[in-house]
């Protein structure tokens, strides 16, 4: 597959995740009487990844997430030399998604930016959770996410069902962790919203790079050395 097409697919897929998936939290979660709440946000993010996986999986593998790309490389499913390009494409796609989301959100009368669906701990945590709680949740859930991805895309897995497992897995992850951190498990997603939220969101952004990357690596190592015999 042409390298530029892979990178374009990663950028567009990450754009969709942020603009539509995270956009549900910014635009629809708190609407009086008809707001979608945590359940709706979780489903929106899961569906955006599921749709992106079906649309772009045959082109780029549909990572849309630096932690996923790292995990796949560690698991032997992805070429290390391609990792920098994927990360850059994911960050660009996420940033463009957040920029367009900001343009839409700021068009409402009385618009207040707030934290712009950014991730955080302490005062930025929806449930007031501590730094340690957020680090544990983000790392552990990213590890689980990598195991789901690697298992559902293994050679012996049922063909065609991987995007469903991945999308529903991400939905489950959000249902559990939105109150804890706002749910990242994706450094590109966290970076995109923090760019606009600024302030403490940017100061805490390191957490949502460190924890998902560590968790992605752990998940890949568990899959490769504990759950499979062929290393992949």
Question: What are the pLDDT digits (tens) for 44-53?
Answer: 999 999 999 9
| 157: pLDDT strictly greater than 90 | no
Mean pLDDT of 187-216: 97
| 33 pLDDT higher than 70 | no
Task: Give the pLDDT band of residue 230 (cuts 50, 70, 90).
Answer: low
Q: Assess whether pLDDT exceeds 90 at residue 156.
A: no
Percent of the chain past pLDDT 70, that is, above it, reads 97
CA distance 63 to 88: 12
End-to-end CA distance of the chain: 21
The H-assigned helical ranges of 33-82 are 37-60, 66-74
Domain locations in the chain as residue ranges? 3-227
How much is the pLDDT for 231? 58
Instruction: Identify which of 95, 115, 97, 96 has the alpha carbon closest to the alpha carbon of residue 197.
Output: 115
Residue pair 142/67 in contact (Cβ under 8 Å)? The answer is yes
Contact in structure between 97 and 22 (CB atoms under 8 Å): yes
Q: Hey, what are 75's tokens?
A: 């698991």
Q: Which CATH class is domain 3-227?
A: mainly alpha
């Amino acid at each position: 597959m042409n390298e530029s097409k892979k990178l374009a697919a990663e950028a567009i897929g990450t754009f969709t995740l942020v603009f539509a998936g995270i956009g549900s939290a910014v635009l629809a979660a708190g609407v009086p009487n008809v707001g979608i709440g945590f359940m709706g946000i979780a489903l929106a993010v899961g569906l955006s990844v599921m749709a992106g996986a079906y649309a772009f999986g045959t082109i780029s593998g549909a990572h849309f997430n630096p932690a996923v790309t790292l995990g796949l490389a560690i698991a032997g499913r992805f070429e290390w030399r391609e990792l920098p390009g994927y990360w850059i494409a994911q960050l660009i796609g996420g940033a463009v998604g957040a920029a367009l989301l900001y343009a839409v959100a700021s068009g409402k009368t009385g618009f207040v930016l707030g934290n712009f669906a950014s991730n955080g701990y302490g005062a930025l945590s929806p449930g007031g959770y501590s730094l340690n709680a957020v680090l544990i949740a983000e790392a552990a859930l990213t590890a689980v996410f990598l195991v789901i991805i690697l298992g559902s895309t293994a050679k012996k897995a049922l063909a065609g069902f991987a995007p469903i497992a991945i999308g529903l897995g991400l939905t489950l992850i959000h249902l559990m962790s939105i109150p804890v951190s706002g749910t990242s498990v994706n450094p590109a997603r966290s970076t995109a919203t923090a760019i606009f939220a600024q302030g403490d969101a940017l100061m805490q952004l390191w957490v949502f790079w460190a924890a998902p990357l560590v968790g992605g690596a752990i998940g890949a190592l568990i899959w490769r050395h504990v759950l499979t015999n062929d290393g992949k």
